[in-house]
Structure 1
Amino acid sequence: MKKRLYLMRHGRTMFNEQDRVQGVCDSPLTELGKQQAECTRDRFFADRNIHLDLAVCSTQERASDTLECVTDLPYERLKGIKEMSFGIYEGWLNKMIPCDWKTSLPVYGGDLFSGVAERMKGTLTGVMERDGFQSVLAVSHGCAIAAFLEAVGQSPRVFGNCSVAVFDWDAQSGSFELVEIWENPLA
């Protein structure tokens, strides 16, 4: 049996506008971020007549605020799909983090990219293994989603705010297959 996962990045935040590292710290959605979420709701989910059975998001406020703009489903907040920690670099300008950040962040109190990949894949596999639904929306973060892409055999990339990666999940094999990436036109 196949299920569908819609993995969405949160809307634009104050730190995105300032080109700052967010990681596990949080900054609020901007007005544009809210408009991006509404655009995804209307131009992706509504225009395609997509029915969602289950909604989950990261424990970070920018993710839950985005989810609430997209659907009125009750939802669960999951630590396993939160953004990676950038340690001491949180709040710094993006251009100031080391080039080898995927492997060097633990030295600075942050997460290892491959560890985030394992955490994301394990958490989302657990969600997909639940009974009683066919279609799930999961709202997460740029680097966490890039890590998940790598964990399921895709090239990691960070896509625009409120863009959606669509996966089919096969219960028999426990594997995720990328179907498409929908880029939000306001991103």
Structure 2
Amino acid sequence: MEINFYILRHGETVYNTEKRMQGWSDSPLTEKGEKKASQLGESLKNFRFDAVFTSDLGRAVKTSELIMEKNHYPAPFFTEQGLREWGLGSLEGTVSYVSVITAALDRCKDSSNTRNFLENFAISARERDASKKAETYEKARDRIMSTMKGAAFTAEKNSWKDILVVTHGMAILTILNEITGDDMAGKVIPNLTLLKIVYKDGYFSYEGEHPAPLA
């Protein structure tokens, strides 16, 4: 059975406009973020999602609600801690993500460093985290991918074909890194970007950015 996962980053938040790291802290959607999410929902209103899996953080939940309230086909909601953004400890809400990205890219330039960009990002964040609670890349990866596999198992069990997943920028980069092997150096997933991933025979494959409305 082939399952289509439509992976969506939440709408724009206040912290996004201020370039602050969010992690597990929450920041409300801006007026623009809500409006754009509703517009995306309108463009998707005739597409039947069999289920919606969303991060339990408020910005993702609100985005999924704004999209699905426009949809003509009710779908069950699953709110998942495992789809949260990377946990970033004391950096959340206080530090610009630009400084951590820059530090990670500098690490990648070191020829003796064999780690990928996301691993270096995690190391750079943990070095700056006074609370020592920021997740390692491995911990975030295992949490996110385990949740994705659990969603695939639930979809298979219920014969669901089309699933909407609402999550976060670094979480999406982690999924893409694991599927494609691309280290995602310096890449950013814009708010409300919709990507398609297919699950078949126990494996995920990436099909690229998917423009709305879906066909």
**TM-score of the superposed pair, with normalisation by structure 1:** 0.87
**1:2-49 CA-partner distances (Å, limit 9, x unpaired):** 011011000000000111111110000011111221232233x24xx4
CA RMSD for the aligned pairs? Answer: 1.9
Equivalent in 47, 52, 61 of residue 49 of structure 2: 52
Indicate the structure (1 or 2) with the bigger Cα radius of gyration. Answer: 2
Structure 2: 5+ residue runs without aligned partners? 70-74, 105-120
Cα offset, 1:60, TM superposition:
0.2
Could you tell me which residue of structure 2 aligns to residue 105 of structure 1?
A: 125
Structure number having the greater helix percentage: 2
Cα offset, 1:183, TM superposition:
6.5
In the alignment of these two chains, the number of paired residues is 179
Cα offset, 1:68, TM superposition:
0.2
Could you tell me which residue of structure 1 aligns to residue 92 of structure 2?
A: 90
Could you tell me which residue of structure 2 aligns to residue 63 of structure 1?
A: 60
Task: Kindly indicate whether residue 95 of structure 2 is the aligned counterpart of residue 75 of structure 1.
Answer: no
Structure 1 CA distance for aligned equivalents of residues 126 and 99 of structure 2: 16
Higher mean alpha-carbon deviation, 73-82 vs 112-121, is at: 112-121
User: Is the partner of 2:23 in helix, strand or coil?
Assistant: coil
Equivalent in 116, 127, 130 of residue 140 of structure 2: 116
Higher mean alpha-carbon deviation, 140-149 vs 92-101, is at: 92-101
Structure 1: 5+ residue runs without aligned partners? none
CA contact (8 A) 1:8 1:165 kept: yes
